[in-house]
Structure 1
């Protein structure tokens, strides 16, 4: 029944989006922008987090939001906003990306990142780098300064040196908390899922005043990862995707399942075809809903993100996504007890949240 209702609402939205009344209602609206970020999703327990620790996480999320907001509010690009938001998260040892990244089985901090521009679907990604302070910036250099999309390990670092990036020593990335996690995993013969209750990844998605979207994701992977394991974060289409025709997505979670579903592109593709395929004959149905167009549009987008995350859950995977749409909706969807997240929009929304019961984009319309 729920899926049938979502299909009706989606069809209604498509008809509305091309209807003259919809266009007229938005003609005089000033160009809007929006930004959403995440810092990982997982089994988070409010009772296990002290007020001081929570305040630290919230401050870190707000710092990232403020950095991205400064770009977007001044008319800057979605791409620049995504990078500006992710860099402080990579530099913050609370998050598993850049500084504070988890250790591999061999005691190394290996970093992955990807970024994508919705204007032309250009993309860049790196995996297995160990000397790059901000992998998200190197991923963007792959996008703009190389003929490739994805570079790995030593080759990626050689490219970084040619581009003028400094070599960052391993002490910058290593933290005692992450080292203890690896030691506990080995001593107690635990899995990465047991030792890490949170899938550590950071990401950002943005819509700028020109209507362009971008997405970026950065991670240290999973504690104790072996054999050159690569998760979804650096994989375009799984952990990161942006397309001006549909949306921008950044994911966090059990990467193997996000790769199998192709989560980021799957969400964008479903939204794009939703925009393309509905007939006009459902306008009467839309009118009967007695909801503002903006609310219907948000419900459709949220429903699509939730449906894809439900598919991940059905396969056995956990995690979440952040999404921005061409209409400026900044959304979250996660199938875990919590996700470090935040959003800010030109409509005046500014919020950060951690646990499932906190205020989220699916609870509060942003228009």
Structure 2
């Protein structure tokens, strides 16, 4: 009788562990900024939501099949990098000199390993290059021509800079040059990111961007900077940011969220809201997505909208663009 009772007890515990191990969550963003329902018709909204949904569903399928968080982050971001809708990969904005320069980063929560590339002009999927830096080099960040040379050695797809051309982004640059402005609110949006909790209990986050329209002097924002635009730690959360990068760098935005969770015992939502508050105090704009070690999701921003969505193993799902949606 004792053996039977012990067996049942062990079976019950094993069942609980299995259920826990199968928990997963994925959250994505496609940029935050000033958005107006009046200026974005239903057809345009549908296009954005369809692409966000495509990315989420791919991520969920991979997670259900036991894929590692890192693999999921890369594959999901690839979907958005390959779309002209977002300011990443194919839809990257133009610099002052009329070229496209791209940045990306990725970080694993289990090992705290990380990789990034900055200012690259010919790597089709910068997030893949960031992953290669993390996995196959002793470095964390590579930039410019050196990053491209490394990507070629790794067998990643190299494309001519004209691959990234889209008429919408090109006209945005022409408008800025004509009016001699530094940037517009329109092209603050579009950076893409993904944060994942996989069925093995590991966290990972990644971010990819084309940066800021009309940027000069080799400007680099927060997206490729670990601790500013991207961060992951299995003890706390995985974070990806989008917005005016200079403010995120100054705040150490992504790492600060993790630190508040670790040292102040704040929830992931509380920490993200607190950090967005700090951003607002500096008059910076943008948003953040995060997932914690228990699969709790946060999607916070101080603009009128952020392309965003998530799916959890519990069946919860959301895709949204504007505030209070």
TM-score where L is the length of structure 1:
0.82
Match of 1:307 among 274, 279, 297: 274
Pair 1:222-2:212 in alignment: yes
Partner residue in 1 for 2:263: 273
Spell out the pairing of 1:331-346 with structure 2 (5 A cutoff): 331-346=298-313
Partner residue in 2 for 1:291: none
- By how many angstroms is 1:164 displaced? 1.3
Pair 1:140-2:103 in alignment: no
CA contact (8 A) 1:252 1:321 kept: yes
- Paired with 2:17 and 2:198, the residues of 1 have a C-alpha distance of 17
Match of 1:192 among 178, 183, 193: 183
Runs of 4+ in 1 over 3 A off after TM superposition: 26-30
Aligned alpha-carbon RMSD (Å)? 1.5
- Give the secondary-structure state (helix, strand or coil) at the position aligned to 1:316: coil
Unaligned runs of 5+ in 2: 1-12
- By how many angstroms is 1:200 displaced? 2.4
- Paired with 2:280 and 2:245, the residues of 1 have a C-alpha distance of 12
Match of 1:152 among 131, 139, 143: 143
Partner residue in 1 for 2:119: 128
- By how many angstroms is 1:203 displaced? 0.2
CA contact (8 A) 2:52 2:319 kept: yes
Partner residue in 1 for 2:323: 356
- Paired with 2:66 and 2:157, the residues of 1 have a C-alpha distance of 30
1:274-325 deviation digits (Å, cap 9, x = unpaired)? 34xxxxxxxxxxxxxxxxxxxxx8xx32111100110011011000000000
Q: Give the paired residue count.
A: 310
CA contact (8 A) 1:322 1:332 kept: yes
- Paired with 1:193 and 1:317, the residues of 2 have a C-alpha distance of 14
Partner residue in 2 for 1:249: 239
Partner residue in 2 for 1:165: 156
- Give the secondary-structure state (helix, strand or coil) at the position aligned to 1:342: strand
Unaligned runs of 5+ in 1: 1-22, 276-296, 359-367
Pair 1:262-2:252 in alignment: yes
- By how many angstroms is 1:189 displaced? 1.7
- Paired with 2:126 and 2:73, the residues of 1 have a C-alpha distance of 13
TM-score where L is the length of structure 2:
0.93
- Give the secondary-structure state (helix, strand or coil) at the position aligned to 2:195: strand
Match of 1:318 among 285, 293, 309: 285
Partner residue in 1 for 2:194: 204
- By how many angstroms is 1:29 displaced? 4.2
- By how many angstroms is 1:171 displaced? 2.4
- By how many angstroms is 1:170 displaced? 1.9
- Paired with 2:161 and 2:215, the residues of 1 have a C-alpha distance of 17
CA contact (8 A) 2:104 2:118 kept: yes
- By how many angstroms is 1:265 displaced? 0.4
Pair 1:87-2:54 in alignment: no
- Paired with 1:119 and 1:30, the residues of 2 have a C-alpha distance of 17
